[in-house]
Amino acid sequence: MSSPGEKLVLLGKIVGVHGIRGELKLESYTEPRTQIFRYQPWLVRSASGEKQVEGCRGRAQGKGLVAELPGIADRDAAAALAGAEIWVARSALPAPKPGEYYWSDLEGLEIVTIDGVSLGKVSHLIATGANDVLVVKDAERERLIPFLIGQFVTEVDLGTGRLTVDWDPDF
């Protein structure tokens, strides 16, 4: 699946069972949601451990997805995976277009103001509908900074692990 130490990306979650033949209900974090089936093999992490799965198929149904996983042929086997997370190797994803970033690539970056003041590191991001928001944490506080390139974000340097922002450190 991936080489040791390769970054993994969380793509979705198994949220329940569908029917009696072992189909699963999924929540996908990909856009569009059915893209989750393009990126394989999956590393399925559940309370009972991890399992690599390849050859997963599925379809959109309502607001979610229904999936078939090889080796899962009945409702009991499917129910055992409820709550499991679906991960893939970062290398399985296509390269983002210029000016676009995967959230997982931004998480952990150091945030520095244009004046060189460190604000902490990106803990995670939040989708607000209007724009994504960086959740930046240091030892003392948490800041929410809109991820708007050109307005608040002046530079993203994945090579150095640094993101520069035009932001007041007191805010």
Domain 8-91 listed as CATH 2.40.30.60: yes
What is the DSSP secondary structure assignment for residue 138, as one 8-state letter?
A: -
103-165 domain in CATH 3.30.450.40?
Answer: no
pTM, full prediction? 0.80
CA distance 56 to 71: 10
d(CA 103, CA 134): 9
85: which strand partners?
A: 13, 45
- Helix residue spans in the chain (DSSP H): 75-79, 103-106
- Every domain range in the chain assigned CATH 2.30.30.240: 103-165
Per-residue pLDDT of the chain (171 residues; tens, 9 = 90+): 555 678 899 999 999 999 999 999 999 999 899 999 999 999 999 988 999 999 999 999 988 999 999 999 999 999 999 999 999 999 999 999 998 999 999 999 999 999 999 999 999 999 998 999 999 999 999 999 999 999 999 999 999 999 999 999 998
Domain with CATH 2.40.30.60 in the chain: 8-91
